[in-house]
């Protein structure tokens, strides 16, 4: 099969090389997916640069943590997935930039065949992560105020729509008028250009000094620290990622004093599913939600999509041969929504 591989770390346009490799074989509780589309994620970019410690397979490797396709074969215990159209995360969160990918069933969900390929490829990761952050971890309630950073991106654009559907007031930050216009189109109530305004001061003014009840922060660094200045009493700061620099994942940026005197909560959010959360915690010490809870979430997302309450935001769409080209906009911070690579088998 054809696959894009990284033989040395660096800029995607320079180090991604297309070549032939063997089709992988699914192990027990895994499926082999014939890839129809690839959704590009910021974690892919960090992996290609070699700065992502969580997912750092030995060179050479095939990046790609999210795919859409049909199940062509199954490992033991996964036979019921055969032939289904699915959205899924490849094993180890890499291996998706290829014509075929092996994926664990715990990270796999059915995708209706009538949904356009680019839209179908756009719905999984950002809507699941945004829902996990807003509702499962963040306990968002109707009438509360949500502040969403990087709101024109994949997760941000999903979070705007989910929060509005839940009856929240939505304040967003983004770095250009074009991005803010998209956020407004998706339902945002208040728009802040973080390049020209102090977002924390703006949020405090907009909320008459009360602050935001929940903040979704996928940026990290100074954005995280400044977010503490505009959290309400009993507010929740949700840490989703570190787009400003993945190195912040292993750095101490927040001291206890602001949390203590602010009377608010700092919450971590990691999107990954396992079949048995208790057994997984015994083995790793980590807390991940169950696949069954992900199924319920996925069904709700598809219901909202079918009712046109939410929509996929596809900012870029390219062919498989042009895959490295999508990173120009991502690295320059000009991309919006999701960047999708469609394969033509």
Domain match, 81 and 47 both: yes
Domain match, 192 and 262 both: yes
Number of domains, the chain: 2
- Kindly state the helix (H) or strand (E) to which residue 328 belongs, with its residue range: helix 327-331
Q: What is the pLDDT of residue 281?
A: 96
* CB 5 within 8 Å of CB 59: no
Domain match, 185 and 99 both: no
Residue 330 lies in a domain: yes
Domain match, 23 and 64 both: yes
pLDDT by 10-residue block (mean), the chain, 345 residues: 97 97 98 98 94 89 98 98 98 97 98 97 97 97 98 97 98 97 98 97 98 95 93 97 70 75 92 95 95 97 98 97 95 94 90
Which residue is associated with the tokens 């990691």?
Answer: 270
Residue 306 lies in a domain: no
Residue 30 lies in a domain: yes
Domain match, 161 and 118 both: no
Domain match, 264 and 129 both: yes
Domain match, 112 and 165 both: no
Residue ending a domain, choose from 212, 246, 268: 268
Q: What is the pLDDT of residue 251?
A: 67
**CB-CB neighbours of 246 under 10 Å:** 20
Residue 233 lies in a domain: yes
Domain match, 208 and 79 both: no
Residue ending a domain, choose from 238, 268, 298: 268
Domain match, 217 and 134 both: yes
Tell me which DSSP letter residue 58 carries: P
Residue 290 lies in a domain: no
* Structural domain boundaries enclosing 74: 2-123+313-342
The contacts of residue 100 (CB under 8 Å, 6+ apart) are 1, 23, 24, 32, 33, 34, 35, 72
The contacts of residue 161 (CB under 8 Å, 6+ apart) are 186, 187, 304, 309, 310, 311
* CB 309 within 8 Å of CB 165: yes
Cα 131 versus chain centre, distance: 11
Domain match, 220 and 156 both: yes
Residue 146 lies in a domain: yes
* CB 173 within 8 Å of CB 151: yes
Residue 78 lies in a domain: yes
Q: What is the pLDDT of residue 262?
A: 87
Which CATH number covers residue 92? 3.90.180.10
* CB 287 within 8 Å of CB 310: no
**pTM (predicted TM-score):** 0.95
Domain match, 191 and 244 both: yes
Q: What is the pLDDT of residue 253?
A: 65
DSSP 201-263: HHHHHHTTT--EEEEEESS-THHHHHHGGGEEEEEEEEE---TT-GGGGGS----HHHHHHHT
Domain match, 118 and 131 both: no
Residue 179 lies in a domain: yes
Residue ending a domain, choose from 268, 293, 324: 268
Q: What is the pLDDT of residue 329?
A: 93
- As to burial, measured by CB atoms within 10 angstroms (0-12 exposed, 13-18 middle, 19+ buried), residue 329 is middle
The two three-digit tokens of residue 118, written as one number: 């680019």
Which CATH number covers residue 210? 3.40.50.720
């Amino acid at each position: 099969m054809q696959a894009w591989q990284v033989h040395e770390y660096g800029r995607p346009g320079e180090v991604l090389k297309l070549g032939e490799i063997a089709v992988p074989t699914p192990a027990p509780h895994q499926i082999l997916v014939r890839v129809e589309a690839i959704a590009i994620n910021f974690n892919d970019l960090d992996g290609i640069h070699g700065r992502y410690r969580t997912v750092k397979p030995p060179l050479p490797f095939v990046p790609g943590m999210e795919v859409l396709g049909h199940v062509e074969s199954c490992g033991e215990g996964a036979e019921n997935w055969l032939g289904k159209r699915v959205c899924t995360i490849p094993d180890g969160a890499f291996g998706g930039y290829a014509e075929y990918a092996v994926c664990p069933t715990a990270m796999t969900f059915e995708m209706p065949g009538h949904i356009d390929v680019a839209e179908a490829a756009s719905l999984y990761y950002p809507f699941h992560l945004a829902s996990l952050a807003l509702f499962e971890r963040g306990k968002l309630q109707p009438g509360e105020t949500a502040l969403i950073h990087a709101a024109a991106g994949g997760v941000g654009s999903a979070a705007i729509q989910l929060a509005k559907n839940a009856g929240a007031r939505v304040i967003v930050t983004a770095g250009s008028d074009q991005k803010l216009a998209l956020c407004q189109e998706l339902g945002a109530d208040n728009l802040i250009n973080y390049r020209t305004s102090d977002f924390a001061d703006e949020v405090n003014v907009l909320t008459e000094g009360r602050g935001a009840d929940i903040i979704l922060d996928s940026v990290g660094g100074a954005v995280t620290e400044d977010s503490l200045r505009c959290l309400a009493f009993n507010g929740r700061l949700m840490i989703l990622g570190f787009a400003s620099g993945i190195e912040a994942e292993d750095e101490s940026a927040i001291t206890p004093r602001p949390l203590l005197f602010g009377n608010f909560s700092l919450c971590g959010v990691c999107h990954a599913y396992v079949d048995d959360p208790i057994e997984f915690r015994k083995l790793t010490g980590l807390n991940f939600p169950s696949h069954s809870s992900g199924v319920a979430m996925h069904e709700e997302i598809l219901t909202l999509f079918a009712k046109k309450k939410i929509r996929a935001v596809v900012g870029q769409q390219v062919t498989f041969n042009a895959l490295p080209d999508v990173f120009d906009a991502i690295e320059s911070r000009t991309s919006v929504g999701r960047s999708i690579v469609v394969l033509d088998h």
